[in-house]
Amino acid sequence: MKLNTNSNIYTIVYAAVVVIIVAFLLAFASSVLSGRSNANEQNDKKKQILASLGERDVQDADVQTTYEKYIMADMIINDKGEILNEGKNKDKDGFAVARKGISKDCLPVYKCMADSVEFYVIPLVGKGLWGGIWGYMAVNGDGKTVKGVYFSHESETAGLGSLIKDDVNFQLQFNDKLLYDSTWNVVLTLKKNGLADKQSQTECDGISGATLTGNGVNNMIKEYLNLYKEFFRKNLEEKTVNQ
Amino acid sequence: MSKLFSKDNQKVFLEPLNINNPILIQVLGICSALAVTAKLEPAIVMGLSVTVIMAFSNVIISLIRKTIPNRIRIIIQLVVVAALVTIVSMILKAFAYDVSVQLSVYVGLIITNCILMGRLEAFAMTNGPWESLLDGVGNGLGYAWILVVVGGVRELLGSGTLLNIRLIPQSFYDAGYMNNGMMTMPAMAMILLGCVIWVHRSFIKE
């Protein structure tokens, strides 16, 4: 008997069978590969954090040891500067917060140590011209100056906006800039290319041809520095009291 | 063996590389050709991914072509392509993370690449698995080499590098040479592609 491949029942059964087979295949592939790709993602995140504090070009194999050398704890705080989670459980607290999970009541802070000097790394998340942008900013223990930054992006224009990630010199110019003035207003700004005052403590130069991406970076920095302001303020006050 | 590489089969493989190129002649798959060619490396990976997916989907569809109900054949083709694309993007994430980050959404968009659907509908639905494999690989490579040419020119003139290796020496920049920012925009890819088609047509007369 020849099957009638045009009958309704055959069509429905065929579609169902195909979909079930494909679903099983995909589920299988996903569960086999998810371990590896998750590890890759975490490794990449650690690499970005390390890049922000000045350890660029870390080999994949050394990421874990370098990361552990610097990062003491991944805390979670809120925008009032209260520490909600001390982050002692290795990568399970602040580190586990995804970019989309960051809110004013859930702000990750990485507490770091280099040459027995304490400093902090905070995440930055914002919108570029075409898609999301993000970064990490290492802030010195005084809570007021930049130790280093790293930016990355989803889909900024290759060769223009994408330079926020690829142009190391663009990121390096943030080093030692001032974040807040004496009354804790955010003063760090990213100007349009060529407009920044080279002597200024607070101005950085944007990328030529990528003004809109630059605006995104500027807004992102402003927003997140405001969110973390209280934390740095309290932190500095405690330190001065202890001394 | 002689049958596997007969004249007809050679033609199936070689035609899409040149005289029946999917991009140059059929003008299919333009959208992704514009999007991923700002640099050479993503262009190469994209070309290879499309070739692999096209080969596999052609073979799979060709194997089950006699069982596919006519009324839902496009949907079945889409399901097969979508499954393959998802698997490839998962493999890239697991084994070539950096590249998968660079290609980001474009791997997913292979699903909508018109060349794929075109070949499945026009070739794999009516030909055997071996011919379909040749056709898939041929079309994939035909697509890939155009991407590589456009990507190479755009990276060289737009960023002064090839595969991120600096080719235009610093002394050129010191002397006043500037990278052509236009080259990094998709619009320039369109113009370049037009030039490639122009050159191609002036050599190959139908």
Q: Where are the domains of chain A?
A: 47-242
CB contact under 8 A, B94 and A36: yes
Contacts of A37 in chain B (CB under 8 A): 90, 93-94, 97
Instruction: Give the ipTM of the model, two decimals please.
Output: 0.75
The Cα–Cα gap between A66 and A50 comes to 8
| Contact call for residues A76 and A93 (beta carbons, < 8 A) | yes
DSSP A201: S
- Reported as a single tens digit per residue, the pLDDT across A136-169 is 999 998 888 999 999 999 878 777 888 898 888 9
Q: What pLDDT score does A2 carry?
A: 65
CB contact under 8 A, A159 and B181: yes
CA angle A46, A49, A54 (to 5 degrees): 125
The Cα–Cα gap between B147 and B103 comes to 14
Let me know how long chain B is. Answer: 206
By CB atoms closer than 10 A (0-12, 13-18, 19+), residue A216 is buried
CB contact under 8 A, B70 and A29: no
Contacts of B101 in chain A (CB under 8 A): 44
Q: Residue A201 corresponds to which amino acid?
A: Q
The Cα–Cα gap between A126 and A173 comes to 20
More confident residue, A56 or B205: A56
CA atoms within 13 A on the CB side of B121: 12
The answer to whether residue B1 scores a pLDDT higher than 60 is no
Q: What pLDDT score does B183 carry?
A: 82
Model confidence at B57, pLDDT cuts 50, 70, 90, reads very high
| Contact call for residues A222 and A125 (beta carbons, < 8 A) | no
Question: Which of B109, B159, B173, B179 is the best residue to mutate to test the A interface, defined by the most A CB atoms within 10 Å of its own CB?
Answer: B159
The Cα–Cα gap between A38 and B93 comes to 9
End-to-end CA distance of chain A: 93
Nearest by CB to B69, which of A11, A33, A37? A11
Q: What pLDDT score does A120 carry?
A: 92
The alpha carbons of chain A give a radius of gyration, in whole angstroms, of 23
**Which parts of chain A sit beneath pLDDT 70?**
1-2, 243
Q: Is B12 helix (H, G, I), strand (E, B) or coil?
A: helix
For the beta carbon of residue B187, count every other beta carbon within 10 angstroms: 10
In this prediction, residues B167-173 reach a mean pLDDT of 81
The answer to whether residue B2 scores a pLDDT higher than 70 is no
In this prediction, residues B124-150 reach a mean pLDDT of 91
Question: Which of A11, A28, A130 is the best residue to mutate to test the B interface, defined by the most B CB atoms within 10 Å of its own CB?
Answer: A11
Q: What pLDDT score does A122 carry?
A: 93
Q: What pLDDT score does B179 carry?
A: 79
In this prediction, residues B113-128 reach a mean pLDDT of 88
- Chain A: give the shortest CA distance to residue B58, in Å: 16
- Reported as a single tens digit per residue, the pLDDT across B66-108 is 888 888 889 999 999 999 999 988 888 888 887 787 776 778 7
Interfacial B residues in 41-100 facing A (CB < 8 Å): 66-72, 75-76, 79-80, 82-83, 86-87, 90-91, 93-95, 97
Describe the strand order of the beta sheet including A71-77 as a list of residue ranges. A83-85, A71-77, A107-114, A117-127, A132-140, A146-153
